[in-house]
Amino acid sequence: MLPDPIVVFDLDGTLIDTAPDLIHTLNAILATEGIPAIPAATARPMIGGGVRPLLEQALSERGRFPGEAAMDALFARYIGHYQEHIADRSRPYPGLEAALDRLSSRGFALAVCTNKYEALSLRLLDALGLTARFAAICGQDTFPMKKPDPDTLRRTIERAGGDVGRAVMVGDSETDIRVARAAGIPVIGVDFGYTRIPMAELSPDRLIGHFDALPDAVFDLVRGSGSHAITA
């Protein structure tokens, strides 16, 4: 018997608009160092690679280049603050839960593959009441590698009980496009997330601007692959 088809989602900027809490924490930490805040419009495209790259890019933006030990301390303080404020302002994107309901009702398993730490991902999804929807929630520290290494995506699918040949990826960044391409998986790009390069320029297999369009985009890709006959 074939496993259920599966849709794997990125988290920040794809499932959840986490930028308000991530940027609030960033600027709270910068303030303790006497560093001017980073405007939200500047900080949003820095999100997606994980907390440490976010800090490094923000500090570079302000002309600060701390050593390794200082970065370690800033990182630890960021995580401590963020985990206490992880869902103060973060919310699912409009239409998400209805789209997940429709996918689940058509027999699709759901999973998360993110470069957020696994514990923080679980804490966020727990706070928003979404954890139970996903067969696997895997972060940058779940496996020995992280996105865009394709094994991260393959292992997430395996952990969720799925099969790479019956999978679709959904993401908001170049990293998500790269990991899906490397794993040989079709990818849907959302144009409302966090990326320096407009999603349309990254040439996903399908591009959506609202979660209302997601189920039909998934069904279309799965029909096109011939891996699972389904009528939208």
**229: confidence class by pLDDT, cuts 50, 70, 90:** very low
Delimit the domains of the chain by residue range: 6-17+92-225, 19-84
Read off the pLDDT of each residue in 140-165 and give the average, rounded to a whole number: 96
Read off the pLDDT of each residue in 126-144 and give the average, rounded to a whole number: 97
pLDDT at 224 > cutoff 80? no
At residue 111, the 3 state secondary structure works out as: strand
At residue 7, the 3 state secondary structure works out as: strand
**150: confidence class by pLDDT, cuts 50, 70, 90:** very high
pLDDT at 173 > cutoff 80? yes
Adjacent-strand bridge partners of 110:
7
Tell whether the torsion through CA atoms of 83, 85, 86 and 87 is positive or negative: positive
Is residue 204 within 8 Å of residue 89, measured between CB atoms? no
Among all residues, which ones are annotated catalytic?
Answer: 10
- Dist CA 50 CA 58 (whole Å): 13
pLDDT digits (tens, 9 = 90+) for 1-57: 678 899 999 999 999 999 999 999 999 999 999 999 999 999 998 887 778 999 999
Fold of 19-84: DNA polymerase; domain 1 (1.10.150)
pLDDT digits (tens, 9 = 90+) for 61-112: 999 999 999 999 999 999 999 999 999 999 999 999 999 999 999 999 999 9
Superfamily of domain 6-17+92-225, CATH level 4: HAD superfamily/HAD-like (3.40.50.1000)
Please name which of 3, 1, 4, 8 lies closest in space to residue 155, comparing C-alpha atoms: 8
Q: What is the pLDDT of residue 226?
A: 44
Read off the pLDDT of each residue in 203-225 and give the average, rounded to a whole number: 93
